[in-house]
């Protein structure tokens, strides 16, 4: 789960990381009031969306007057900001962060991720921070410093000083950078993060280091024990179908093809998507109804999949273990009765109570296309697609 820059900065401030004074604004008047209260002569207006690269897309602007603060806020809020990370359709900006503008001497990169190969939190740092870090990492990987953290010891002081020295810090700034690393590490570990990033970590004109941009991403499977983080979730930034699905206990991920998939189990979902691709079809989604799918759950699955206008056919692939094919079949028939389903539906049922499930579908009178196995199902759903488009 992602959170906004202003939320990450608040969180890191609590851990002792220096961040610019600032507050989030929802409209022009709000923005002007915040800038006046902050005082000073220059402010930065920053679009708050769950995507980076905003500076390159016009989502970070320095204002030299209150009028400019208002102007930039007005331009950003309500617009679709396109950055190298958003895709062509961009992201709707609903709020901006107004903060003090700092005079920057140099920009550094400091991040932490879980390295799955070593199974350790790994610090990633570079003296070449700022808006081009992705390019630096590609063209000049030697300028990226990596240091794995031993979980039994935690991030040690000597490691921080070593990283800081390699980043090019000297004198007091070594200690300051080390403190920021420790703080970022504590926040990362305390909050079950998957990624934490300060870019830029800036050396500013008063000689101190400050986090001018910050981003964190949290492990969705740990949110149950991180209520404070869950409260920061911004549903406007997420696919509405994915949000609705998670509310119904369904795992749904939107993709860009046209074959809707309703499947039980993530492994079977992957295999189903592979089989569809193998037959030159393109999955429109990944939907896992899980074990013990009730007819209601199946109905909700259909409703969510059909909200995607690209869906031209649906493949229901159930291998029932804990599930029961007769329940799934009842759910399918109920969904056909309740919903105006016009797309062809291919059904493959196997496992528990399959002998009861298939007759329910046949007796219903609805035109389900029955398949014997996964390959047959994928062949039929792609053929149905050709008929449907």
109 tagged catalytic: yes
Tell whether residue 285 is a contact of Mg ion (CB under 5 A).
no
16, two tokens:
């002792």
Q: Which residues contact 103 (CB under 8 A, 6 or more apart)?
A: 204, 205
- Which entry of ligand ADP, Mg ion, none binds 107, CB below 5 to 8 A by partner kind? ligand ADP
Asked if 333 and 360 touch (Cβ cutoff 8 Å), the reply is yes
Out of 5, 6, 99, 109, the active site residue is 109
Minimum Å gap between C-beta 131 and Mg ion is 7
Minimum Å gap between C-beta 199 and Mg ion is 4
Pairing of strands 369-370, 345-351: parallel
Tell whether residue 288 is a contact of Mg ion (CB under 5 A).
no
- Which entry of Mg ion, ligand ADP, none binds 99, CB below 5 to 8 A by partner kind? ligand ADP
For the CA atoms of 110, 114, 119, 125, the dihedral, rounded to the nearest 10 degrees, stands at -10
Using CA atoms, how far apart are residues 387 and 3, in angstroms rounded to an integer? 43
Nearest residue to 378 (alpha-carbon basis) of 389, 366, 388, 369:
369
**Closer of 56 and 162 to Mg ion (Cβ):** 56
**Closer of 71 and 334 to ligand ADP (Cβ):** 71
Tell whether residue 5 is a contact of Mg ion (CB under 5 A).
no
Residue closest to Mg ion, measured at CB:
213
36 tagged catalytic: no
Using CA atoms, how far apart are residues 120 and 71, in angstroms rounded to an integer? 45
- Interaction residues for Mg ion, span 165-204 (CB under 5 A): 199
User: Which residues of this protein are in contact with ligand ADP, per CB under 6 A?
Assistant: 20, 44, 46, 52-55, 60, 99, 101-102, 104, 107, 130-131, 199-200, 212-213
Block residue for tokens 């550094």 = 108
* Strands lying side by side in the sheet with 60-63: 22-25, 96-100, 43-47, 60-63
Count of residues interacting with Mg ion (CB under 5 A): 2
Tell whether residue 213 is a contact of Mg ion (CB under 5 A).
yes
Helix, strand, coil abundance in the chain, percent, nearest 5: 40, 25, 35
Name the 3-class secondary structure at 54. Answer: helix
Using CA atoms, how far apart are residues 21 and 19, in angstroms rounded to an integer? 7
Minimum Å gap between C-beta 52 and Mg ion is 6
**Closer of 213 and 288 to Mg ion (Cβ):** 213
Block residue for tokens 């006046």 = 36
Neighbouring CB atoms inside 10 A of 351's CB total: 16
**Closer of 210 and 345 to Mg ion (Cβ):** 210
Minimum Å gap between C-beta 289 and Mg ion is 39
Tell whether residue 99 is a contact of Mg ion (CB under 5 A).
no
**Closer of 217 and 334 to Mg ion (Cβ):** 217
Residues acting as catalytic residues: 109, 197
The contact set with Mg ion (CB under 5 A) reads 199, 213
């Amino acid at each position: 789960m992602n959170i906004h820059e202003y939320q990450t900065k608040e969180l890191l401030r609590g851990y002792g990381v220096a961040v610019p004074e600032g507050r989030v604004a929802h409209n022009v008047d709000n923005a002007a009031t915040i800038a006046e209260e902050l005082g000073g002569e220059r402010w930065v207006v920053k679009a708050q969306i769950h995507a980076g690269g905003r500076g390159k897309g016009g989502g970070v602007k320095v204002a030299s007057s209150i009028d400019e603060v208002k102007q930039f806020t007005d331009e950003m809020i309500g617009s679709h900001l396109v950055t190298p990370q958003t895709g062509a359709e961009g992201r709707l900006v609903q709020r901006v962060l107004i903060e003090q503008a700092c005079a920057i001497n140099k920009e550094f990169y400091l991040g932490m991720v879980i390295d799955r190969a070593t199974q350790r939190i790994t610090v990633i740092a570079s003296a070449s921070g700022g808006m081009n870090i992705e390019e630096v990492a590609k063209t000049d990987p030697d300028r990226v410093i990596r240091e794995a953290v031993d979980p039994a010891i935690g991030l040690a002081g000597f490691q921080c000083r070593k990283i800081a020295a390699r980043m090019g810090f000297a004198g007091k700034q070594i200690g300051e950078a080390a403190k920021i690393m420790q703080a970022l590490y504590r926040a990362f570990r305390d909050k079950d993060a998957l990624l934490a990033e300060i870019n830029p970590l800036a050396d500013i004109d008063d000689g101190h280091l400050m986090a001018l941009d910050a981003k964190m991403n949290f492990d969705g499977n740990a949110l149950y024990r991180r209520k404070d983080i869950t409260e920061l979730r911004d549903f406007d930034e997420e696919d509405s179908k994915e949000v609705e699905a998670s509310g119904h206990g369904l795992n749904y991920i939107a993709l860009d093809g046209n074959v809707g998939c309703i499947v039980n189990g993530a492994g079977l979902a992957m295999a189903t998507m592979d089989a569809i691709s193998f037959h030159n079809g393109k999955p429109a989604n990944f939907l896992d109804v899980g074990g013990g799918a009730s007819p209601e759950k199946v109905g909700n699955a259909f409703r969510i999949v059909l909200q995607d206008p690209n869906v031209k056919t649906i493949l229901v692939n159930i291998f029932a273990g804990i599930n029961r094919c007769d329940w799934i079949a009842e759910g399918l028939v109920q969904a056909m009765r309740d919903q105006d389903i016009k797309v062809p539906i291919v059904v493959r049922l196997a496992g528990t109570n399959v002998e009861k499930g298939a007759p329910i579908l046949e007796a219903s009178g609805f035109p389900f296309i029955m398949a014997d196995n996964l390959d047959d199902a994928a062949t039929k759903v792609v053929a149905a697609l050709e008929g449907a488009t």
